[in-house]
Structure 1
Amino acid sequence: MESLTLYTNPQSRGRIARWMLEELGQPYDTVILGYGPDMQAESYRTLNPMAKVPTVTHGTRTITECAAICTYLADAFPEARLMPDDRAAFYRWMFYAAGPLEAAVTNKALGVTVPPEKSGFVGYGSFDRVVATLEQAVSASPYLAGDTFSAVDVYAGSQIGWGLQFGTLPALPGFTAYWDRIKTRPALARANAADDALIAKG
């Protein structure tokens, strides 16, 4: 079996990649990188020229960007059943979370306001539209790609969980009900325990 390695920091989006790896049930190694010199080191930048985490290597292959990591691993390990039959919904909401949702939440957190007459210039239109669309999606079925949990719930679900925790998304009924459905997954508990322990160690 080809080895899996996660390059991460416990206070980063690497927590999404760790959750995904825990869902696989496959062994993996972890390399912890500090912000600054560790991520800027030439040896790491050969893997990820953006000098950020997470990065996952699988044998000789390198995957960056959380949405890509989740999608790749779901496809590479079909026995984990994290790639749903409804691929259309899977890709739709995976890229929605990586595109409009991420951009809208980040801009709002930074205080970037897009004038209504300029909304067509940004891929998400408006924050309110993004939120309404996402809440409708998580309310339409138990999970984003239908009746079964999949990798898109790891990625988009992480963003919803963080949004509710830090107040970057409104605590709408659809979001809270969806998060309640996925937040007790054993793989998430294991991933959080691992990263929280690293934070406690400093």
Structure 2
Amino acid sequence: MSDRSELVLYHAIPSRSSVVHWMLEEVGHPYELRLLDLSRGENRSAEFLALNPMGKVPVLLHDRVAVTEAAAICCHLADAFPEAGLGFPVGDRRRGPYLKWLFFSPSCLEPAMTDRALKRDAPPRAMVGYGDFETLVGTLAAAVEEGPYLFGDPFTAADLVLGATLRWAMRFELLPAVDAFARYVERLEARPALQRAEATDAELANRAAEAG
């Protein structure tokens, strides 16, 4: 196995590491899953904290170098394995917009959903990265309306990170029921790589439950 294929994902079910699990299936190179039981505090072990002092998954080891934060890992994988066609290289005019959407979820969408989930009063617009909730929803709806993906036909890591967050938000009704969101998520859920990752996660979760 070449160094480029030495990929190890520290993974927990369910967690944000499922985003990277899906990304690894899209990349199509061999990888290893190392499951952590968060309920037993395995993410707080000295060994794991040496990889990520935040004590969070996902952590990806690529040729023994640790990369953390789901969107950053997906960006790294798209650049490291360009043959998978999941990103745009430096010099491509789509690179800037691609990076915007790749990091839109952790910088704008997730904070907005957290405020909504916790039933917080709307913060002053100038104090939060997403501005206001209505503008965020309208911007997202316009971005995914035409489809099939953010940049038309090519599916990218930006679709994966944004789509994973949208799926979670819709499941817990943290976003309005917008037809454009439902159609976009439906297209994503038809992707074989996502189906493979979810099937593996379901099998692993069942095994863990049976083992007690």
Identify the TM-score tier after normalising by the shorter chain: over 0.9
Deviation string for 1:2-24 (max 9, x for gaps)? 21000010110111010000001
8 Å CA contact 2:12–2:36 kept in 1: the answer is: yes
2:109 alignment partner AA: L
Q: Select the residue among 26, 31, 35 that pairs with 1:23.
A: 26
State the TM-score, normalized to the length of structure 1: 0.94
Q: CA deviation at 1:60?
A: 2.5
State percent identity of aligned pairs. 42
Task: State the distance in 2 between where 1:139 and 1:167 align.
Answer: 19
| 2:181 aligned counterpart, secondary structure | helix
Task: State the distance in 1 between where 2:21 and 2:154 align.
Answer: 20
Q: Select the residue among 173, 180, 183 that pairs with 2:179.
A: 173
Task: State the distance in 2 between where 1:9 and 1:56 align.
Answer: 12
1:67 paired to 2:71: yes
Structure 1 gap segments, 5+ residues each: none
8 Å CA contact 1:89–1:144 kept in 2: the answer is: no
Q: CA deviation at 1:189?
A: 0.4
1:190 paired to 2:185: no
Task: State the distance in 2 between where 1:146 and 1:61 align.
Answer: 33
Deviation string for 1:134-165 (max 9, x for gaps)? 11111144211332101111100101111122
Q: CA deviation at 1:32?
A: 0.5
Q: CA deviation at 1:77?
A: 0.3
| Corresponding residue for residue 164 of structure 2 | 158
Task: State the distance in 2 between where 1:126 and 1:197 align.
Answer: 40
| Corresponding residue for residue 96 of structure 1 | 104
Task: State the distance in 2 between where 1:149 and 1:159 align.
Answer: 16
| Corresponding residue for residue 120 of structure 2 | 112
8 Å CA contact 2:74–2:157 kept in 1: the answer is: yes
8 Å CA contact 1:135–1:175 kept in 2: the answer is: yes
CA RMSD of aligned residues (A): 1.3
| Corresponding residue for residue 9 of structure 1 | 12
Task: State the distance in 2 between where 1:77 and 1:40 align.
Answer: 31
8 Å CA contact 2:167–2:185 kept in 1: the answer is: yes
**Using CA pairs below 8 Å that are at least 6 residues apart, which structure has the higher relative contact order?**
1
Structure 2 gap segments, 5+ residues each: none
Q: How many residues align?
A: 200
State the TM-score, normalized to the length of structure 2: 0.90
| 2:51 aligned counterpart, secondary structure | coil
| 2:194 aligned counterpart, secondary structure | helix
